[in-house]
């Protein structure tokens, strides 16, 4: 049984509490972004998780409720593209009943014109929209889709009108593909009231062809912006915050940079990921998940499920990004042995894709 001393707060072997859960509601997406779901691997013949294997909203709510009683305070709904899941506002309303729960969602934004108002009315508080380029040709190259930046911006407008508590815009930066869009994006979202965040290109899954030379590091991104704008670093809001934030000194906005490759933040990570199939992963780079759906459908009680999740979290030792040992983050000119060994080890076993894990 779970010791009484950890009924309300769970900590892993490094003292990291379980505070955040990313919940994937589908592994399907209407984009084919090169860094996430390249079309040659996710084409018409790709086999998605069968409908009967996907967690119901009731099953998701049951698991979140159990974890909420043990210290979980943030849930982010993800995919794939979460807005492809029918009646998503019903899940939002179910989760909204839990007290003191920060409820957010990440989306590519193109379906927000249809769903933003309903999601907000159901109780969704925060939303993050992915937008990797304003230039149409670059955007199409990044997303490999028929959509345009205007479609995303229309979704952003709908979200703004719906009145979310917070709206952020995420841009994954890949060298030679969209790094020239950094300053245009800053220009576009200054004075908008929305925070723009740049994310280093990560080595997730097995299909995106990641190499260190494709990474535009946080320091490089910062340097590009500082060449034009005066920035002031802001203190972290909490130890597990993933982005370094900077205020434009002219008061026109705040920019975040997620340095998950060059400046990893594993030691402060309080996140787990629940896949649409009901597997829980304790790290974005974990080799395998733990099947909670099977336990639920086998008839385990809430107490038994709680004990299983407690044992999983308290045994957690994940710190993949720290083990890369990126001692030269500005260039990655010479990979150190730990990174090479990690990638060789990872390639010998299946590495779940970002679209499956939920980001």
Domain holding 128: CATH number? Answer: 3.20.20.70
* The pair of three-digit structure tokens given for residue 200, joined into one six-digit string: 């280093």
pLDDT (0 to 100) of residue 2: 57
First to last CA, the chain: 32
pLDDT digits (tens, 9 = 90+) for 119-146: 999 999 999 999 999 999 999 999 999 9
What span, in angstroms and rounded, lies between the C-alpha atoms of 332 and 79? 31
Q: How many structural domains are present in the chain? A: 1
The answer to whether residue 180 scores a pLDDT higher than 90 is: yes
Q: List the domain range (segments joined by +) for residue 345.
A: 4-357
Contacts 24+ apart (CB under 8 A), 240-247: 240/19, 240/20, 240/265, 240/268, 240/269, 240/270, 240/271, 241/268, 243/197, 244/218, 245/195, 246/222
pLDDT (0 to 100) of residue 4: 54
pLDDT (0 to 100) of residue 356: 85
pTM of the model: 0.90
pLDDT (0 to 100) of residue 349: 53
295 phi and psi, to 5 degrees? -70, -40
pLDDT digits (tens, 9 = 90+) for 78-133: 999 999 999 999 999 999 999 999 999 999 999 999 999 999 999 999 999 999 99
The answer to whether residue 66 scores a pLDDT higher than 90 is: yes
- pLDDT band of residue 266 (cuts 50, 70, 90) is confident
Report the percent of the chain where pLDDT is more than 70.
Answer: 91
């Amino acid at each position: 049984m779970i010791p009484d001393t950890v009924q309300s707060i769970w900590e892993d072997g490094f003292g990291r509490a379980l505070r955040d859960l990313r919940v994937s509601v589908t592994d399907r997406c209407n984009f084919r972004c090169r860094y996430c779901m390249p079309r040659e691997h996710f084409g018409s013949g790709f086999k998605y998780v069968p409908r009967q294997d996907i967690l119901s909203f009731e099953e998701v709510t049951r698991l979140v409720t159990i974890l909420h009683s043990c210290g979980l305070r943030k849930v982010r709904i993800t995919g794939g593209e979460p807005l492809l899941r029918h009646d998503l506002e019903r899940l939002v309303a179910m989760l909204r009943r839990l007290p003191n729960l920060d409820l957010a969602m990440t989306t590519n934004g193109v379906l927000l014109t249809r769903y933003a108002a309903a999601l907000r009315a159901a109780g969704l508080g925060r939303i993050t929209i992915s937008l990797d380029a304003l230039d149409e040709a670059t955007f199409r190259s990044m997303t490999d889709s028929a959509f345009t930046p205007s479609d995303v911006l229309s979704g952003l407008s709908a979200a703004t009108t719906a009145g979310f508590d917070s709206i952020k815009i995420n841009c994954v930066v890949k060298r030679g593909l969209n790094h020239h869009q950094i300053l245009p994006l800053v220009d576009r979202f200054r004075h908008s009231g929305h925070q723009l965040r740049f994310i280093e290109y990560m080595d997730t899954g097995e299909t995106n062809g990641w190499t260190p030379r494709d990474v535009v590091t946080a320091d490089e991104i910062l340097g590009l912006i500082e060449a034009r704008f005066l920035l002031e670093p802001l203190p972290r809001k909490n130890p597990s915050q993933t982005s370094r934030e900077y205020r434009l000194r002219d008061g026109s906005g705040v920019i975040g940079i997620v340095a998950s490759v060059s400046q990893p933040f594993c030691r402060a990570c309080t996140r787990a990921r629940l896949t649409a199939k009901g597997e829980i992963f304790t790290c974005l780079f974990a080799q395998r998940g733990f099947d909670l759906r099977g336990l639920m459908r086998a008839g385990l009680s809430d107490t038994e499920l709680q004990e299983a999740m407690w044992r999983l979290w308290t045994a957690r030792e994940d710190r993949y990004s720290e083990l890369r040992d990126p001692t030269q983050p500005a260039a990655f000119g010479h990979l150190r042995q730990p990174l090479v060994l990690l990638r060789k080890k990872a390639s010998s076993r299946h590495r779940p894709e970002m679209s499956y894990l939920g980001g």
